Homo-oligomer: A and B are copies of this chain.
Amino acid sequence: MSDTDAPDSSDGPAPSDADGPADWLVDLRRDLHRHPEPAWREFYTTNRIVEAIEDLEIDGLSLFVGPEALDLDARSGVPDETELAPWRERAREIGVPEDRLETLDGGRTGLVARLDRGDGPHVALRVDIDGLPVTESDADEHVPAAEGFRSENEGAMHACGHDGHATIGVGTLAAVADSDFRGTFTVCFQPAEEIIGGGRAIAESGHLEGVDELIAIHLGLDHPTGEVVAGMDGILAVRQIRAHFEGETAHAGKHPQAGRNAVQAMAAAVQNLYAIPRHVDGVTRVNAGRVEGGTASNVIPDSAVIEGEVRGETTELKEYMSDHADRVLEGAATMHDCAVDVVTTGEAPSADSDPELRTVVAEAARGTVGIDSVLDQAPLGGSEDATFLMRKVQAQGGRATFVDIGTDHPGGHHTGTFDVDEASIAIGVDLLGEVVRRLGGS
């Protein structure tokens, strides 16, 4: 970030004006967009956010980076060294300092920022920061391609708007710091949301102890710029799995009968996973999102993998799907004399937004410039490990809501043409700054 882009610290930060987000927020968002990093590999991202916050020179702020932000035992889906190494190397090449890399290495990315402003309620904001293994569009009509901030990490992309989420987190921190808010304000920049890997680690980190009000946010979700949903419901419970089928290899021409064909087992499983009966109690989902098996066309495959997931509108429905999936995987292995090993790589419960907190958000939204439609509730349809944080706060008597800030997105979430309307970043910062102020003592 160049000096000229930095907010003038003497005047205090100015995260937005009437026409959209401040230039420095746009720059931050675009820089993050150019450097998407998948779950637990957010080396550059974490460092960039730390630098952006430090540039704000906020009084009373504490930063907890990497291991200080997480319960390391509560993480899931941490990749091994061979998967981490190239991302760490890439971050090194574009200037992330060596000691920061060391801090974050081994699946210890993310940060928590806490602003202490005297007595008053403890309000928390949760944003997520990881990218996806999606290849970004290079079409002319795709704004990041046209305006030069398309992903530089080919095959990875901020295809779910977490670049915007992180930026809103920083912007809101600036806005609250600049306000008369009384109390404690914590912003959790959570890693590894896409693999349901980091939510529980933040929830169990201790940073949520004593939190009275938690706001988790998302951009878009098929709501346009100017629309806000005060509390999403229908956040699907989810279990992500990795099923590894193991058989025996053989020459496909000379000894087909000597093999135990792991790809046949995998294919039988895929066919029948999607065919788990629908459930009358509500929404269910299943996906075999990534599969792989075998080595060469003339070798009976002795190994195959399904990386997939089941979801349910409630935790019970997720369990229903999960039990069925286990049976399907087991039966498919039996059919082809293979063994199957099923590992849960991520899991999150469903959660509900609290009506009172929804009301606070909705009222603030009605007074925010740029917002012309406020919905009290709407279904998410997807999953989110923000539910771990929401349930944590609710369990200790606090309230939580999952707020959607609409944004015009040309392509769907998780596709190569996804993009966010940067106007929604300013809206998000303004709205959340106001909500936090209202929740604070003053």
Q: Interface on A for B, CB 8 Å cutoff?
A: 132-134, 194-195, 221-222, 236, 238, 240-241, 249-259, 261, 263-264, 266-268, 270-272, 274-275, 277-281, 283-301, 304, 307-309, 311, 320, 324, 327-328, 330-337, 345, 380-383, 412-416
CB A302 to nearest CB in B, in angstroms, measures 9
- A-B contacts, 26 of them at CB < 8 A, read A132-B299, A222-B254, A240-B298, A249-B414, A250-B415, A251-B414, A254-B382, A254-B412, A261-B274, A261-B277, A264-B270, A264-B275, A267-B270, A267-B291, A268-B271, A272-B275, A274-B275, A278-B285, A287-B299, A290-B295, A291-B291, A291-B293, A291-B301, A297-B308, A327-B334, A327-B337
Distance A291 CA – B255 CA, assembled complex (angstroms): 20
Contact status A257-B320, CB under 8 Å: yes
Contact status B298-A277, CB under 8 Å: no
Q: Given contacts A288-B301, A291-B291, list 4 more A-B pairs with CB under 8 A.
A: A264-B272, A264-B275, A289-B296, A291-B294
CB A178 to nearest CB in B, in angstroms, measures 35
Contact status A290-B297, CB under 8 Å: yes
Report the copy number of this chain in the oligomer: 4
Distance A300 CA – B286 CA, assembled complex (angstroms): 10
Contact status B291-A297, CB under 8 Å: no
Contact status B274-A284, CB under 8 Å: no
In the bound complex, residues from chain B placing their C-beta under 8 Å from that of A194 are 296, 298
In the bound complex, residues from chain B placing their C-beta under 8 Å from that of A414 are 249-251, 296, 298-299
Distance A261 CA – B285 CA, assembled complex (angstroms): 14
CB-contact partner of A290 in B238, B274, B278, B296, under 8 A: B296
Contact status A280-B292, CB under 8 Å: no
Distance A304 CA – B293 CA, assembled complex (angstroms): 12
Question: Most B CB atoms within 10 A — which of A280, A287, A294?
Answer: A287
In the bound complex, residues from chain B placing their C-beta under 8 Å from that of A221 are 254
Consensus secondary structure, chain A interface: mixed
Contact status B278-A256, CB under 8 Å: yes
In the bound complex, residues from chain B placing their C-beta under 8 Å from that of A304 are 291
CB A411 to nearest CB in B, in angstroms, measures 10
Residue of chain B at shortest CB distance from A39 = B296
CB-contact partner of A335 in B240, B292, B331, under 8 A: B331
In the bound complex, residues from chain B placing their C-beta under 8 Å from that of A257 are 277-281, 320
CB-contact partner of A295 in B133, B281, B324, B380, under 8 A: B133
Question: Most B CB atoms within 10 A — which of A249, A380, A414?
Answer: A414
In the bound complex, residues from chain B placing their C-beta under 8 Å from that of A299 are 132, 134, 287, 289, 414
CB A219 to nearest CB in B, in angstroms, measures 14
Contact status B337-A335, CB under 8 Å: no
Contact status A256-B287, CB under 8 Å: yes
Distance A289 CA – B222 CA, assembled complex (angstroms): 37
CB-contact partner of A285 in B256, B258, B284, under 8 A: B256
Distance A284 CA – B287 CA, assembled complex (angstroms): 17
In the bound complex, residues from chain B placing their C-beta under 8 Å from that of A258 are 412
Distance A311 CA – B278 CA, assembled complex (angstroms): 12
Distance A331 CA – B265 CA, assembled complex (angstroms): 10
In the bound complex, residues from chain B placing their C-beta under 8 Å from that of A324 are 337
Contact status A288-B272, CB under 8 Å: no
In the bound complex, residues from chain B placing their C-beta under 8 Å from that of A309 are 252, 297-298
In the bound complex, residues from chain B placing their C-beta under 8 Å from that of A308 are 297
Contact status A264-B274, CB under 8 Å: yes
Residue of chain B at shortest CB distance from A133 = B295
Contact status A297-B195, CB under 8 Å: yes
Residue of chain B at shortest CB distance from A274 = B275
